[in-house]
Amino acid sequence: MTADSLPSVGDVVELDIADQAYGPDSVARLNGIAVFVPDTAPGDRVRARITEVHKRYLRARVVSILRESSKRVPYNCPIAHQCGGCQWQYLAYDEQLRAKERAVRDALVRIGGWADPDVRAIIASPREWRYRNKARYWVETAGDQRRIGYYARSGDAVVPIETCPLNMDGVDTTLTTVGRLIASETHRDVAESLESVIARESLGSGEKAVRLILRREVPVRAFAEALMREVPALVGVTYNRAGRNAMRRDRVVVGSGTLTEYVGALEYRVSVDSFFQINPFATPLLVDVVREAAALDGVESVLDAYGGVGLFGVALAERASRVTLVEADRSAANDARRIFSKRGIDSATVYERSVDDMGDLPGGVDVIVCDPPRQGAGRDGIAALNRHGAYRLVYVACDPTALARDSAILRDAGWNLHWARPIDLFPQTYHVETVALFERR
């Protein structure tokens, strides 16, 4: 297609949707150029209005569906079209899995530069709905109106949510109760200063917790006590400040600031402001794959980098001679120390520091587990990990693109990709977890 023959913004075109991209959109081709279209499934034929024109790709929105793909299923939520919370509800679960597995392979080939990576069959989530143990809703006040929910896809307003079919029941009812309380005049001050609310629920213990994130500090005790009365099994309410004013740790308003989580037989007492995996139905499967990749035989020394509260470190400790956990967040690092100590794991050491600046660690490292945040470990993180002379590296990634970028850095540093296994921790969204095993050449 030449620049002259590109359509213009506002033009309506007919498109055959060819594939699901990694992200919220599917892809069609218009005279050879890619057109990204949200809310469509491979096999759809649609009329779509062009919304953006770029040199190498276009974006469009559906005007009408001319032929529905067999891969479609009915939406499970009345606000799915507006809400930015999930993107793939209309895709049959099998098709979601297929697309995620392919996204991991594509990223490793195109971005990672691996010719024919061994991407093993994706592991499905045991639950497709009501799997989230944590949700953060945003609060918006307009006059006397208060909205609590996720941001709209357009990003400009909060879409009020009565129930989200991805949340575990306790998360859902807790947030509904918060919504009801902030709508009442009694808690006006709290409502007006609330930026967002995070509800957590432990699958194993049934405990729930609420974190209030405040734009400005106001007394929240009466509000927290009202929540404690109304939400069964709520163990506590904490608060923190929004954005740049955030404190390193939440302050407890009432009750406790920790939840007890279980992964199989392992117990983790987790502060409400520490990271923990959000799909407790699939987390044990993730831990199993990490165990398989680490392939410990009891004598290895393990580095759990970006270790959080020690999900992997604790699970691997029984087959390791020593575990060293490096975690930047104070709350998670403190939790990890307590969890190792409660389990009587004397061979574990926890360092509260950034992986990038972790420097030398006492003793050698044989096996690294590396589970960085979404953006990946990057050059500095990988350089820091690489200096420890380990021969096996288990990379756990929640973004295939970051995994692929880091995999290329690892290759340059002398590592080979052995295999990768996607795991669906996030049904109904395009997100996918991957465990990738690297071995030193």
Closest distance between ligand SAM and the C-beta of residue 358, in Å? 8
Applying CB under 6 A, does 288 fall inside the site for ligand SAM?
no
Q: Calculate the alpha carbon distances from 165 to 76, 138, 170, 197, 287 in Å.
A: 7, 17, 12, 18, 25
First to last CA, the chain: 45
Of 354-373, binders to ligand SAM (CB under 6 A) are 354-356, 371-373
Closest distance between ligand SAM and the C-beta of residue 391, in Å? 21
Applying CB under 6 A, does 328 fall inside the site for ligand SAM?
yes
Considering beta carbons, is residue 76 or 334 the nearer one to ligand SAM?
A: 334
Distance of CA 47 to the CA centre of its chain: 33
Binds ligand SAM (CB under 6 A): choice among 276, 281, 415, 438: 276
Considering beta carbons, is residue 148 or 396 the nearer one to ligand SAM?
A: 396
Applying CB under 6 A, does 326 fall inside the site for ligand SAM?
yes
Applying CB under 6 A, does 349 fall inside the site for ligand SAM?
no
Considering beta carbons, is residue 95 or 329 the nearer one to ligand SAM?
A: 329
Binds ligand SAM (CB under 6 A): choice among 101, 327, 399, 433: 327
Alpha-carbon distance of 198 to 202, in angstroms, equals 13
Alpha-carbon distance of 105 to 263, in angstroms, equals 29
Strands of 126-218, DSSP E = 134-142, 145-151, 158-160, 194-201, 208-214
Closest distance between ligand SAM and the C-beta of residue 160, in Å? 30
Give buried/exposed letters for 172-201 (b at 16+ CB in 10 A, else e).
bbbbbbbbebbbeeebeebbebbbbbbbbb
Three-class DSSP category at 237: strand
440, amino acid identity: R
Structure tokens at 153: 């896809």
Applying CB under 6 A, does 264 fall inside the site for ligand SAM?
no
431, amino acid identity: H
Applying CB under 6 A, does 261 fall inside the site for ligand SAM?
no
Applying CB under 6 A, does 335 fall inside the site for ligand SAM?
no
Binds ligand SAM (CB under 6 A): choice among 303, 332, 385, 409: 332
What residue ranges bind ligand SAM (CB under 6 A)? 275-277, 306-308, 311-312, 326-329, 332, 354-356, 371-373
